[in-house]
Chain A
Amino acid sequence: EIVMTQSPATLSVSPGERATLSCRASQSVSSNLAWYQQKPGQAPRLLIYGASTRATGIPARFSGSGSGTEFTLTISSLQSEDFAVYYCQQYNNWPPRTFGQGTKVEIK
């Protein structure tokens, strides 16, 4: 089973600043990686798939990069609505389709 490790667990950022979130896979997942955003009391929302492709309706300030075992989600200029928990998920080798433990982006 592929283990996904996200860092940091919590990221404190001021509005307007850049946020950089990391996700590492225990073995290569090629570019078969997705990022999700989850706000309190809501279901996760797909942000990025294929490591770098934004899902429909996702603002351009969200970008994904990486391949193999190292991935990054960057939010270029944090807006108030971006404070949430972010999860990565691999779908290269499944089952299972594993998620990371999440990174909480909070207001500094």
Chain B
Amino acid sequence: QVTLRESGPALVKPTQTLTLTCTFSGFSLSTSGMCVSWIRQPPGKALEWLALIDWDDDKYYSTSLKTRLTISKDTSKNQVVLTMTNMDPVDTATYYCARTTVVTAYFDYWGQGTLVTVSS
């Protein structure tokens, strides 16, 4: 059974750095082709893809946010970490992690999401 769960602070201040952790089970990020992505959704708005890391430690980022994002993995802990620097109130959103692969490339399993509010 595949599960993913996001964790991190519910509230961050403007200019701070956000660190989110995705802890997953039921698959391994050391399996060829396996990937984990981060996706966010501001309240009442659409989904926005942020970043992806694959089994080979290749990393891909949203063009508009790439200077602020870093994605990493700890295969032994079954975790993927996303950091986003210089947080702003417009970054207030629910942040999801989701499983995907380089072949299928759609998101077949999602975490429940974690709401991050940026406010002073």
Asked whether A and B interact, the reply is yes
Say whether, besides A94-B60, A94-B105, A96-B62, A43 and B111 are in contact (CB < 8 Å).
yes
- Asked whether B104 lies within 8 Å of A97 as measured between CB atoms, the reply is no
Say whether, besides A32-B105, A44-B110, A95 and B62 are in contact (CB < 8 Å).
yes
Residues of A within 8 A of B62 (CB): 95-96
Residues of A within 8 A of B112 (CB): 42-43
Residues of B within 8 A of A98 (CB): 49
Say if the beta carbon of A99 comes within 8 Å of chain B.
yes
Range for the number of chain A residues in contact with chain B: 20 to 34
- Which of B46, B47, B61 counts the most A-chain CB atoms under 10 A from its CB? B47
Say whether, besides A1-B63, A95-B52, A97-B37, A49 and B104 are in contact (CB < 8 Å).
yes
Q: Which residue of A lies closest to B60 (CB)?
A: A95
Q: How would residues 70 to 108 of chain A score, 1 for a CB under 8 Å from any chain B CB and 0 otherwise?
A: 000000000000000001010100111111111000000
Range for the number of chain B residues in contact with chain A: 20 to 34
- Asked whether A87 lies within 8 Å of B47 as measured between CB atoms, the reply is yes
Say if the beta carbon of B27 comes within 8 Å of chain A.
no
Residues of B within 8 A of A55 (CB): 108
Contact partner of A99 (CB less than 8 A), chosen from B49, B52, B108, B111, is B49
- Asked whether A43 lies within 8 Å of B113 as measured between CB atoms, the reply is yes
- B residues 29-69 near A (Cβ < 8 Å) are 37, 46-49, 52, 60-63
Residues of A within 8 A of B100 (CB): 97
Residues of A within 8 A of B24 (CB): none
Say whether, besides A44-B47, A100-B46, A95 and B110 are in contact (CB < 8 Å).
no
A52 to chain B, nearest CB (A): 13
Q: List 9 A-B contacts (CB under 8 A).
A: A1-B63, A43-B112, A44-B110, A87-B47, A91-B104, A96-B49, A96-B63, A97-B52, A98-B49
Q: Report B's interface with A, CB cutoff 8 A.
A: 37, 46-49, 52, 60-63, 96, 100, 104-108, 110-113
